[in-house]
A and B are shown apart, each in its own frame.
Chain A
Amino acid sequence: GENVGLHLPTLSVQEGDNSIINCAYSNSASDYFIWYKQESGKGPQFIIDIRSNMDKRQGQRVTVLLNKTVKHLSLQIAATQPGDSAVYFCAENLRSNDYKLSFGAGTTVTVRA
């Protein structure tokens, strides 16, 4: 079933601005979260992950924030570029002893030149 969801299905961003993509999850027992980027006609690409014992993790131009109190996950992309245009999915691992991930429906990010 759908345990994760994204607040907005689409996001339009000006090139050079920062992007924030949000995700709400409902299972307070989830202990692992991942963000993926999917370009048209391709498989999802791993961006960054975070475990529930952390509230922030940074990668190259990306930051993931986890707020367990309100069960909210966000992906921040700094200085958004045209190549960032894609669909972004959040996913959660519902149980620590389970391999399965539950995916949200995705947010389509369009970067305006």
Chain B
Amino acid sequence: DGGITQSPKYLFRKEGQNVTLSCEQNLNHDAMYWYRQDPGQGLRLIYYSQIVNDFQKGDIAEGYSVSREKKESFPLTVTSAQKNPTAFYLCASSPGLDHNEQYFGPGTRLTVT
């Protein structure tokens, strides 16, 4: 059963705590991405990684951090520096530069109170 998995589906945290969202893919895709989606809005790119051990900031990277130690995994940490962390977080992957269709996971809804 191939695809992208994100866990957990719902996550609750207290303000001031860091939290890490999981993203795993078994599609053998080179590139992986993290997006944030707020109610009624489109997707905004947080970070992306074209290859293992390399990643770049997207449009809204402040308050977030990532790592890409394995091809299959691209975890996102939402730090206490992120001022409005409550959102729906989506992970995606794509085969590579010549095939840039991105495939998305089911998402994690993070609520910080």
Contact = CB atoms under 8 A, between A and B. Distances in A.
Question: Do A and B interact with each other, yes or no?
Answer: yes
A89 B104 contact: no
Given A103-B42, A105-B42, 14 more contacts: A36-B104, A41-B109, A43-B90, A43-B104, A43-B105, A43-B107, A44-B43, A46-B103, A46-B104, A97-B97, A99-B94, A100-B48, A101-B100, A106-B41
Contacts of B97: 97, 99
- Interface SS of chain A: helix, strand, loop or mixed? loop
Which residue among A41, A44, A49, A99 has the maximum number of chain B CB atoms within 10 Å of its CB?
A99
Interface residues of B, number: 27
A46 B43 CA distance: 14
Interface of A: 1-2, 32, 34, 36, 41-46, 49, 89, 93, 97, 99-101, 103-106
Nearest 8 pairs between A and B by C-beta? A43-B104, A103-B42, A103-B43, A105-B42, A44-B104, A43-B107, A43-B106, A99-B31
Contacts, number: 53
Contacts of A104: 42
B104 to A, nearest CB: 4
A45 B90 CA distance: 12
Contacts of A34: 101-102
Contact of A100 (B4, B42, B45, B90): B45
A42 B3 CA distance: 14
Nearest to B30: A99
